[in-house]
Amino acid sequence: MSCLRYIGFIIFLMISFSSVRIFGQDKRVNIDSLKTILQNTTSDTNRINILLALAAANPNHTAENLKYSIEAKSLAEKANWMPGLFKANDLIGGIYFFQKDYVTASGFFQANIVASQNSKNIGDEANELEKIATCYNYLGQHKKAIEYYDKSLSLKPDADMEMGILGNMGDTYVSIGDFPHALSNYITSLRLLDSVLSTEKTVDVKDSSQKANLLLNISSIYMSMGQPDKAAENYNRVINISHIIKNNALEVLALNGIGSTYKVKKNYAKAIEAYTISLSECTNINYSNGEVTTLNELANVYVETGDFGKAMDCAKRALKLAEEYHYNDQLSGLYATLGQVYLKQREFSQAIAFLQKALSLSQANGELDIEQNALSALSDVYEKLNQPEKALKTYRDYITVRDSVHGIDNANYLTRIDLEYTFDAEKQKQTAAFNEKIARQQVLTYCGYGGLALVLLLAFFMYKSYTTQKKYNALLSKEKQGHLAHISAQDTVLSDIAHIQSHFVRGPIATILGLLQFYNHEDPADPLNKEIIEGVSVSIEKLDAVVKEVVAKENNLRRETKK
């Protein structure tokens, strides 16, 4: 079950069934009473809420809903009431979305992004970004869709929204045939859901159903990637969940999935067994839609095994149910199956009739795969009827559709390459920036180490001067009066050295330490950092001059001592 397939429905439900506050109370009222309230109220905010409630009250009347929502938007703009304007934009966008005018719909969602940014409401902004992404996806602009999904995720929405965004991104990647990225998104969404569920004391049916749907999507990806065993493993997990929450419809979907894994592996006996169990479940719960799907799958398996009688029986039963319950979305596939069965039984007139129906419907619905299969089968029929002109024309049409499908595949391939290039370029850009930052930090670190080395060197000289002073004090005691004048001169030199160390060393050291505190580690490219490093350099040069002066005085003192 695809998340993307139902996103439009979810958007509409979210808008339509959100509680509308009227006169400070939540009320469920019918359209007539809403109109009566609207006539009797003068409050702008109440009128806006009532108009929005009227717009959402009857989903089937889109023109009337649009009129009410536009009136609510206009009134909200005049009253400068942002919450009402936000709701109106959302509702109008949803209406245009259902009219398949995705460009106009995204414009209203974009307006809400600006509003949510102004109000600093990150949750609303993420929600609107996701809706725009969905519009781009329906427009076939998959790269833009993924870009907006990424923007939505970057805002770090809550776990529920993040899971939905990841699921929709997975659907987008499926649309362009990028199954590894799709699988990654579905699995990440599943792990996030498991993490949330692990913190809850009880798991409700909604959470379990969401997990089952993700597992179904993951299974479909594994099937597309040619890994039926992994698909079967996840389909079995769905069956376990369906037993826990007693959801037979989920079990039917999973059983049909298991049947398809056996069909791919050409284990037709096991496939028939799985589809038969699924069919029994459909009958038990009156799941007619699932029964149609399962019967069609069974018919195709029987065609593969050469049991055309059973194939015909299943296909006819499926068609009868589809026509009875108006499952028009399944008719083209059923017509194609019946056409194939009649072709196998060499009942060519019946085969042509059903294949032409399948062709007409598939062309109207844009179902290229069914159209391609129907044309191929029709070409075979005309060839067997010895009608070469029709066979050739139909085959040419088949080639045209096949090339069209191939063209779409190529376009999707180019989109995947473009996305990969974009991701790689961004990654390289981030890596280069990181390396540059590291290099700047290394330069600063080396400067700091250099300054520290000078400080240690000065400390060494200070210690050495101290020991020298002690030595000369001892000599003063021994030499007594005879060397008093000489020792006095030496003492003067040592005093000078101590003075230099206490007054001229501390200043540069304090300067270095002070400058380093203002260095911008977050942005090494900050222009102020250059001035700081220059200041450190000047202070180091001063320290170097002090060291040289101390060394000179010490050398002079030694020469005097030798005399």
At residue 45's C-alpha, the angle toward residues 44 and 51, to 5°, is 85
Q: Write out the H or E segment, with its range, that includes residue 22.
A: strand 21-22
Summarize the confidence of residues 197-224 as an average pLDDT: 88
Q: Write out the H or E segment, with its range, that includes residue 21.
A: strand 21-22
Are residues 90 and 72 in contact, defined by beta-carbon separation less than 8 angstroms?
no
Q: Is 155 helix (H, G, I), strand (E, B) or coil?
A: coil
Q: What is the pLDDT of residues 152-196, one digit of tens each?
A: 999 999 988 999 999 999 999 998 889 999 999 999 999 999 988
Q: Write out the H or E segment, with its range, that includes residue 215.
A: helix 205-224
Cα–Cα distance for residue pair 395/387, rounded to 1 Å: 12
**DSSP codes, 477-544:** HHHGGGGHHHHHHHHHHHHHHHHHIIIIIHHHHHHHHHHHHT--SS-TT-HHHHHHHHHHHHHHHHHH
Q: Taking the CB of residue 230, how many other CB atoms lie within 10 A of it?
A: 17
Instruction: For tokens 């007594």, name the residue.
Output: 480
- Looking at residue 212, its pLDDT comes to 93
Q: Report the mean per-residue pLDDT for the chain.
A: 82
Summarize the confidence of residues 268-276 as an average pLDDT: 96
232 to 183, 223, 546: CA distances (angstroms): 15, 9, 80
Residues facing residue 21 across a β-bridge: 26
- Looking at residue 546, its pLDDT comes to 76
- Looking at residue 383, its pLDDT comes to 92
CB contact set of 3 (below 8 Å; sequence gap of 6+): 164, 167, 168, 170, 171, 213, 217
Are residues 128 and 140 in contact, defined by beta-carbon separation less than 8 angstroms?
no
- Per-domain residue ranges of the chain: 437-562
Name the residue type at position 442.
Q
Q: Taking the CB of residue 265, how many other CB atoms lie within 10 A of it?
A: 13
CB contact set of 320 (below 8 Å; sequence gap of 6+): none
**DSSP codes, 409-446:** HHHHHHHHHHHHHHHHHHHHHHHHHHHHHHHHHHHHHH
Three-state SS across 220-234?
A: HHHHHCCCHHHHHHH
Q: What is the pLDDT of residues 413-442, one digit of tens each?
A: 666 676 666 555 555 555 555 556 555 666
What the block records as the tokens of 376 is 């191929």
Helix then strand then coil, % of the chain, to nearest 5: 85, 0, 15
Percent of the chain with pLDDT over 90: 50
Cα–Cα distance for residue pair 263/155, rounded to 1 Å: 44
Cα–Cα distance for residue pair 407/103, rounded to 1 Å: 24
- Looking at residue 556, its pLDDT comes to 73
- Looking at residue 261, its pLDDT comes to 97
What the block records as the tokens of 283 is 């009958």
For the ranges 220-224, 381-385, 401-405, the lowest mean pLDDT is seen at 401-405
Q: What is the pLDDT of residues 96-122, one digit of tens each?
A: 998 899 999 999 999 999 999 988 999
Q: What is the pLDDT of residues 340-375, one digit of tens each?
A: 999 999 999 999 999 999 999 999 998 999 999 999
Closest CA to 246 of 217, 279, 198, 209: 209
- Looking at residue 22, its pLDDT comes to 36
Are residues 50 and 22 in contact, defined by beta-carbon separation less than 8 angstroms?
yes
Q: How many CA atoms lie within 13 A of 426 on its CB side?
A: 7
- Looking at residue 50, its pLDDT comes to 85
Of the two residues 403 and 145, the one the predictor is more confident about is: 145
What the block records as the tokens of 140 is 């076939």
- Looking at residue 166, its pLDDT comes to 93
**Burial class for 309, CB neighbours closer than 10 Å (0-12, 13-18, 19+):** exposed
To 10 degrees, what angle do helices 331-344 and 348-365 make? 160
Cα–Cα distance for residue pair 363/370, rounded to 1 Å: 9
Cα–Cα distance for residue pair 87/422, rounded to 1 Å: 35
Cα–Cα distance for residue pair 65/62, rounded to 1 Å: 5
Summarize the confidence of residues 515-527 as an average pLDDT: 73
Q: What is the pLDDT of residues 34-74, one digit of tens each?
A: 777 777 777 888 888 888 888 887 777 788 888 988 998 99
Summarize the confidence of residues 534-547 as an average pLDDT: 78
* Contacts of the segment 454-457: beta carbons below 8 A, 24+ positions apart: 454/540, 454/543, 454/544, 454/547, 455/509, 455/543, 457/547
Summarize the confidence of residues 373-398 as an average pLDDT: 92
DSSP letter for 329, please: G
Residues facing residue 92 across a β-bridge: none
Residues facing residue 25 across a β-bridge: 22
Q: Taking the CB of residue 304, how many other CB atoms lie within 10 A of it?
A: 12
Q: Give the pLDDT band (50/70/90) at residue 15.
A: very low
